[in-house]
DNA sequence: GCCAACGTTGGC
DNA sequence: GCCAACGTTGGC
């Protein structure tokens, strides 16, 4: 059995929020629209069914990890790339040899409270996370098991949201 | 709204 | 293959 990996997925909640994922039928969504080669390569080469996902809200108040999800389908062609007029249309992506890929994720655990970027930056244990580093913009980032465990512990503090 | 930092594009 | 210009990201 391969080692489970951990990831942080960024999403702007005005575009797609963790609540949106929770509200999906089967709580599952296609993670389409990735148009960055480094992120594409993470999905293609490293992401496996069962991997853990921290769902992070960017450009939000607050910017924070909202909960967790699980990868339930490994990389497959992102069909939005060849839909003219779609937001992420890319005429250079050939359906016979797709440039862009997506995965499916399943909402897992909603945190009892958001774990904010502000507190991540203040937490000495979490200084290795890419999300605290200036200028790191990729929308999917690898997360260490130690950082994953720490974020989960913080998110599970306090009373559950009703 | 600002702007630093980054990825991509395209002229050469 | 270099690199300046450009567009985008995303925290603040």
The predicted-structure confidence for A88-119, as pLDDT tens digits, reads as follows 888 777 777 888 999 999 999 999 999 999 99
Nearest to residue A74, comparing CAs of A140, A18, A30?
A30
Q: Is A160 contained in some domain?
A: no
Residue ranges, chain A, pLDDT below 50: none
Looking up residue A63, the CATH number of its domain turns out to be: 3.10.590.10
Q: Is A44 contained in some domain?
A: yes
Number of Cβ within a 10 Å radius of residue A45: 8
User: Looking at the 3D structure of chain A, how many domains does it have?
Assistant: 1
pTM for this entry: 0.92
Number of Cβ within a 10 Å radius of residue A160: 9
- Residue A82: its pLDDT value, please? 82
Q: Is the CB of A121 under 7 A from strand C?
A: yes
Residues whose CB is below 7 A of strand B: A 36-38, 134-137
Dist CA A78 CA A66 (whole Å): 25
- Residue A161: its pLDDT value, please? 56
Q: Is A33 contained in some domain?
A: yes
Distance of CA A155 to the CA centre of its chain: 16
Q: Is A1 contained in some domain?
A: no
Q: Is A43 contained in some domain?
A: yes
Q: Is A161 contained in some domain?
A: no
Q: Is A123 exposed, middle or buried (0-12, 13-18, 19+ CB in 10 A)?
A: middle
Which residue segment(s) compose the domain that A130 sits in? Answer: 6-155
* Nucleic acid strand C: bases within 7 A of protein CB: 8-12
Q: Is A22 contained in some domain?
A: yes
CA–C1' nearest nucleotide, residue A62: C11
């Amino acid at each position: 059995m391969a080692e489970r990996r951990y990831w942080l997925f960024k999403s702007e909640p005005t575009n797609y929020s963790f609540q949106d994922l929770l509200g999906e039928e089967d709580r599952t969504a296609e993670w389409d629209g990735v148009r960055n080669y480094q992120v594409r390569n993470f999905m293609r080469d490293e992401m496996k069914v069962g991997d853990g996902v921290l769902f992070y809200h960017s450009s939000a108040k607050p910017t924070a990890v909202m909960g967790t999800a699980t990868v339930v389908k490994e990389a497959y062609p992102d069909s939005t790339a060849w839909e003219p007029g779609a937001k992420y249309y890319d005429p250079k992506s050939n359906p016979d040899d797709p440039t862009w890929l997506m995965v499916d994720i399943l909402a897992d655990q909603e945190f009892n409270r958001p774990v904010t970027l502000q507190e991540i930056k203040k937490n000495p244990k979490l200084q290795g996370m890419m999300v605290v580093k200036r200028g790191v913009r990729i929308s999917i980032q690898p997360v260490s098991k130690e950082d994953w465990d720490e974020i989960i512990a913080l998110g599970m503090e306090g009373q559950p949201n009703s």
